[in-house]
Amino acid sequence: MRIYVAHKQGADFQDELYAKLRQSALNTEHTIILPHEQIGVSFDSKQLLHQGIDVMIAEVTFHAIGVGMEIAYADVFGVPLLCVYRNGSKPSNSALQKAKKVIEYETIEGLISDIEKLLPEF
């Protein structure tokens, strides 16, 4: 599967999420696209979603216009959406309504485990 991971730009996902995803079985079994893995490199998520992604994972712990736009692109292009958010946060209801599945998580390791369990449903 080709999996695109959307999240708020500027949030510290490099050390926490990216590293653990790259070290997981998900990385060996699927193609994971992380938009800000190369710092300073422009990334066109609209074009990527238009060309075809099997599932988009949207990290919606933080409200972000950019992630909202990517969720809209995914919806328009028929890309299934998995929304994830950290326990205790209040994600946007409009984002959650577009999701095929939603995961509330406490740790990145738990999140990755939950993603592995849900991916066959996509």
Tens digits of residue pLDDT in 58-68: 999 988 898 99
Q: What is the pLDDT of residue 13?
A: 72
Structure tokens at 102: 């939603």
List pLDDT tens digits, range 11-42: 567 778 888 999 999 999 999 998 877 666 66
pLDDT, greater one: 20 or 44:
20
Is the distance from CB of 33 to CB of 53 less than 8 angstroms? yes
Rounded to two decimals, the pTM is: 0.90
Q: What is the pLDDT of residue 42?
A: 66
Q: Tell whether the model's pLDDT for residue 5 goes beyond 90.
A: yes
**CA 60, 114, 90 angle in degrees (round to 5)?**
25
How far apart CA 22 and CA 104 sit, in angstroms, is 21
pLDDT band for position 46 (cuts 50, 70, 90): confident
Q: Tell whether the model's pLDDT for residue 120 goes beyond 80.
A: yes
How far apart CA 101 and CA 31 sit, in angstroms, is 20
CATH class of 2-121: alpha beta
How far apart CA 15 and CA 55 sit, in angstroms, is 23
Q: List residues bridging with 44 in a β-sheet.
A: none
How far apart CA 12 and CA 8 sit, in angstroms, is 9
